Structure 1
Amino acid sequence: MWQLPAHAQQKPGAEKELQQVQQEIKQTEQQLRQQRRQLQQAEKTLQQADKALAEAALKVRQTTLRKQQLEQESTRLDTQQKQLQQQLTEQQTLLAAQLKSAYSMGQHDYSRLLLNQQDTGKLERVLTYYQYFNQARMQQLATINQTVQDLEQVVAKLAAQQNLITRELNALEQQQQQLTQARASQQESISELQALLAKQGNQLTYLRQNESSLQDTINELRRLAELSKDMAGLGAGKGKFPWPLKGSLLQRFGQSRQGANASRGILIQGINGANVQAIADGRVIYADWLKGYGWVIVLDHGAGFMSLYGHNQTLLKQPGDRINAGEAIALVGASGGQADPGLYFEIREKGEAVNPLLWLNRP
C-alpha cells in the first residue's frame, strides 16, 4: 500500500503542537494582563487608603492644635477671672473703709454745722471734706461696677470656650475613630499588594519600577531646583545637620532591598503621627503621593541640594512653601506599601543620591 512520506505524516502533528503552543501563549498573555490589572487595582486601592489616612491624620492634627489653642485661651480667661475677682474684693474692701472713715468722722457734726452756721470757716472745711469723700465713693462705685461687668464678660467667654473645647473633643474622638479605620484599611491594602506581588513573583520588578519612577521625578525636580538662586545649599553644614526623625536605622544607604538595586537613602524607624522635621532651610518643590514611596515631600536647599522624605502618613506643607530648619513638614506613617511606620530619607546633590549619614550629625 502506498504511504505518505514520513515528513508529510509528521506535518499534522506539528501543526497541532504549534496550535497548542500558540494557545498556551495566548493564555499566558491573558494571565499577565489579568495580573497587571490586579496589581494596578491593588496599587489604586493602596493609594486611596493612603489618601484617606492622610486626610484623617491631618484633621486630627488640626483639631488637636485647635483644642490646644482653646485650652490656652481658657487658661488665660481663667487667670483674668481670678484677677478681676481679686480686684473686686479689694475695691469693695476699700469702699467699706471709706464709708467707715466717713461715719467715724461724724455725720452728726455735719448735720449740726448745717443748722448752726456760726463757724462758717469750719463749715466750708467740712463741706469740702465730705465732697471729697463723696467723689471718692462715686469713683470707687463706678470702678466696682466696671469690674463686675468685665468679670461677667470674662465668665461668659470662659463658658463659651469650654463649650468649644467640648465640641472639639467630640470631633477629635470621631476623627480618631476615622483614623483608626483608615489605618486598618491601609494595612489591609498593604497586605493585599504584598500577597499579590509574592504570588506573581514580581516583587523585584515592582521595586525596580518604583526606583525608576522616583528617579524620573528627581530628574524633573532637579530642573526646577536649578531655578533657585537665593539659597546656599547644604555644603557648609556637612556632618552637622539634625536628623529628620529620631529613631533606629532600619536600612542604610547602599544596602540592597530584597535583591533590588542598592538603596539611595536610609530608612528610619518611627511612630505613627510623629513629626518629620526639615533638616535645613528650604523650599517645597514636591508634595504628593508617589508609587512605592507613598506621601513624599521634597525640599530644595539651593546650590543643587535636595532632601526627600517618604512613606509619610500625611503632608503638612505645599509646593512653594518656604521652610525653616527644624520645622514640621509631615507626619510619620507607612504609606506606599510599608508594613511598619518609618521615614525614607534621601539627600541629593545635583540629582545624584549621596549618603545621608555623612551629612547628618551623630545621634
Structure 2
Amino acid sequence: MSKRLPYLFAGCFWLSLLSTATSAQQTPQAERELQQLQQQIKQTEQQVRQQRRQLQQAEQRLQAADKALAEAARKLRDTQGRQQRLERESANLNRQQQQLQQQLAEQQQLLAEQLKSAYSLGQHDYSRLLLNQQDTGKLERVLTYYQYFNQARLRQLAQINHTVSELEQVKQQLANQQQQLQTELSALQQQQQQLSEARGSQQASVNELQALLKQQGNQLSYLRQNETTLQNTINELRRLAERNRDLSGLTAGRGKYPWPLRGRVLQRFGQNRQGGLASRGILIQGVSGANVQSIADGRVIYADWLKGYGWVIVVDHGKGFMSLYGHNQSLLKQPGDNVRAGDAIAQVGASGGQADPGLYFEIREKGEAVNPLNWLGAQ
C-alpha cells in the first residue's frame, strides 16, 4: 500500500494539471458566450424600447387624428346649424315679401278706386257744385266730404310709399341672406372635404396601431392597459358621482330603457375581444355622424378622449348607476350638463382605434360592469 501512494499522488497531480488546462481553455469560450448573450439582451431591450416608442407615437397620432376629426365634425355641425338658420330666415323674408306685395296690390287697387271716384266727381265740376249750394249745412257736408276724400287719398299714397320702402328693404335683406347662404354652402363643402380627409388620417392611424400591436404580439397587454385606465377613471368618477344625490338612478327597471343607438350588436357582454380579453360592454354597429342618445335622465360627469376608447362620455344616473358611451366621432355635451332620456349626447364614430364606426356602450352599477342587454328594451 505504501508503495502505491507515490503513484496515487502523481496521478492526482497530473489530473489536476489536466483539469486546470481544460478550464483555462473553456474560460474564453464561456466569456464569449456570455458577451454574446449580454449583447442579445441589450439588443432586445433596445428593440422593446423602440417598439414602445413606436406604439406611443402611433397612439399620439391616433389621438391627434381623433381630435382633428372631432373638430372637423364640430365645424361642420356649426355650419349646418347656421345654414338651417339662414334658410329659416330666408323663408320668413320670402313670406314677408309676398305679404307686402299683396298689401301693395290692395293699396294700389284702393287708390285706383279713389281716383276713379275723384274723376267721376270732376265730371260734375267741383267748383260749380260749391257755388250752387244755397243750403249752408249741405255746403259744409260737401266740403267735409271732399276734405275727407283728399285726406284718405293722401294717407293711401303715404301707405303705398311706406309699403314700397318696406318691400325694398326686405328684398335687400333677402339678397344679403342668399349671399350669406352661398358663403355658408361653400364653407360646408370645404368642411365636408376636411371631414373626409380627417377620417382618412384617422383610418391610417388605426391601421398603423393595429399593425404594430400585431407585429409586437402586444394586443392582450394593450387591452389590459386600456381596461385598467378605464377602471381607474370609473373609480374616480364614482367619487365625483357621490355629489349627485338628486339623481334617482335607473328606476324603470331591467329591460325598460331605450337603446343609445339602433343597430346590430357586433360584440356582446363577456365575449372575447381581439386579443382575448372579455368585453365589459357591447359594441353596436353604426353610421358615422349618427346621434348617440342617453338611455335615461342624468348628469354628464365625463366627456373627453380616453386611450383605447376614443371620445367617451359618461352619464351619472344616480344611486351608483352610470352609462358609458365610447368610440364617438364627437361629443355634444360637457361635464355638468343635465340630460334627459333620448337627448343626443354624441355622434357615432370610430375613435380610439376602431376600424369601423360603432358605439361601445357600458352600464356600471357601483363601479362594476353589468350586462347592458339586461337593461335595454327591444329595438
TM category (shorter chain) comes to over 0.9
How many Å separate the matches in 2 of 1:108 and 1:56? Answer: 78
Q: 1:332 aligns with which of 344, 348, 363?
A: 348
| Structure 1: unaligned runs, 5 residues or longer | none
CA deviations on 1:107-128 (whole Å, 9 max, x unpaired) are 5342102333433333222112
Q: Are 1:46 and 2:62 an aligned pair?
A: yes
CA contact (8 A) 1:311 1:333 kept: yes
Q: 1:3 aligns with which of 6, 18, 21?
A: 18
* Number of residues of Structure 1 aligned to a counterpart in Structure 2: 363
Match of 1:293 in 2: 309
CA deviations on 1:205-249 (whole Å, 9 max, x unpaired) are 111111111111111111111110111111324322211111111
How many Å separate the matches in 2 of 1:157 and 1:243? Answer: 44
Give the letter for the 1:50 counterpart.
Answer: D
How many Å separate the matches in 1 of 2:251 and 2:268? Answer: 21
Q: 2:265 aligns with which of 249, 252, 267?
A: 249
Q: Are 1:24 and 2:40 an aligned pair?
A: yes
CA contact (8 A) 2:299 2:338 kept: yes
How many Å separate the matches in 2 of 1:103 and 1:130? Answer: 13
Match of 2:8 in 1: none
CA deviations on 1:287-332 (whole Å, 9 max, x unpaired) are 1111110111111111111111100111112111222222211111
Match of 1:279 in 2: 295
Q: Are 1:150 and 2:166 an aligned pair?
A: yes
Local SS of the residue matching 1:297: strand
Q: Are 1:200 and 2:216 an aligned pair?
A: yes
Q: Are 1:72 and 2:80 an aligned pair?
A: no
Match of 2:231 in 1: 215
CA contact (8 A) 1:208 1:260 kept: no
Q: 2:135 aligns with which of 119, 125, 142?
A: 119
The 1:293/1:331 distance shift into structure 2, 3 A limit, reads same
Q: Are 1:308 and 2:324 an aligned pair?
A: yes
Q: Are 1:33 and 2:49 an aligned pair?
A: yes
Deviates more, 1:152-161 or 1:233-242: 233-242
Local SS of the residue matching 1:325: coil
Q: After TM superposition, what 4+ stretches of structure 1 lie above 6 angstroms from structure 2?
A: none
| Structure 2: unaligned runs, 5 residues or longer | 1-13
How many Å separate the matches in 1 of 2:254 and 2:80? Answer: 36
Q: How does 1:62-141 map to 2 (within 5 A)?
A: 62-106=78-122, 108-141=124-157
Q: Are 1:235 and 2:232 an aligned pair?
A: no
Give the letter for the 1:307 counterpart.
Answer: S
How many Å separate the matches in 2 of 1:318 and 1:48? Answer: 20
Match of 1:267 in 2: 283
The 1:131/1:143 distance shift into structure 2, 3 A limit, reads same
Q: How does 1:333-348 map to 2 (within 5 A)?
A: 333-348=349-364
CA contact (8 A) 1:207 1:292 kept: yes
CA contact (8 A) 2:219 2:275 kept: no
CA contact (8 A) 1:67 1:168 kept: yes
How many Å separate the matches in 1 of 2:244 and 2:138? Answer: 87
How many Å separate the matches in 2 of 1:173 and 1:92? Answer: 45
Give the structure-2-normalised TM-score: 0.92
- State the superposition RMSD in angstroms: 1.6
How many Å separate the matches in 1 of 2:313 and 2:212? Answer: 28
CA contact (8 A) 1:67 1:169 kept: yes
CA deviations on 1:115-169 (whole Å, 9 max, x unpaired) are 3343333322211211221222122222222211221121111111111111111
CA contact (8 A) 1:50 1:336 kept: yes
Identical counterparts, % of pairs: 75
Give the letter for the 1:303 counterpart.
Answer: K
How many Å separate the matches in 2 of 1:91 and 1:206? Answer: 78
Deviation of the 1:7 alpha carbon: 4.3
How many Å separate the matches in 2 of 1:111 and 1:147? Answer: 34
Local SS of the residue matching 2:18: coil
Local SS of the residue matching 2:198: helix
Deviation of the 1:12 alpha carbon: 3.0
